[in-house]
Amino acid sequence: MILTDYYNFGKLPEQKSKMRMDCIRSTKGYPVFEALRNKAGSLFVYFGDVPHSFGGDVKRRADKAITKTTNISSVFVPDVEKLLGYGDVRNTQDAILIVFNGTYSQMEIFVARGQKNNRMQLYNLLADGELDSEMDSLKKQAVTDLGTSNKGEAGE
């Protein structure tokens, strides 16, 4: 399998921040994301526009980013009609593939450890439906996140 981990984030109705997304379901195996949990065990990130303070090559500067105090990943969405994106996790060799819902209030993140240099090829496989069985397998392994209440499971 190319895809190794799964995290489903969504906007919960009780959250005041428009950019905050809480983890609803996950396989709970990716150390970078697990290290972001707070003392209560909750995992959340912010999804929004790339802050101007973030550096990067202007030719490939992303429009969106996943952050929590610092940049976790820039997010590239090559075709907005497909609601798919890709990126890589900062300071790792890992790629991520992202599936959004129609209102961008939920995002499913699939991690491909060690595949940073193949993120564009992985995005193409995702867009062509070639990773559907791997994605389904990871979703079946996911459990409801204990740090998140069951009320307001953003589209579940």
How much of the chain is in helix, strand and coil states, percent to nearest 5?
Answer: 20, 35, 50
* pLDDT of amino acid 113: 98
* pLDDT of amino acid 80: 81
* pLDDT of amino acid 62: 81
**Dihedral sign for Cα atoms in the order 121, 67, 138, 79:** negative
* pLDDT of amino acid 153: 41
Token couple for 155: 């589209």
pLDDT digits (tens, 9 = 90+) for 49-88: 876 665 555 445 687 999 998 889 999 999 888 999 999 9
* pLDDT of amino acid 57: 53
In the chain, the amino acid numbered 36 is L
Global pTM? 0.88
Within the chain, which residues score under 70 in pLDDT?
A: 51-61, 146-156
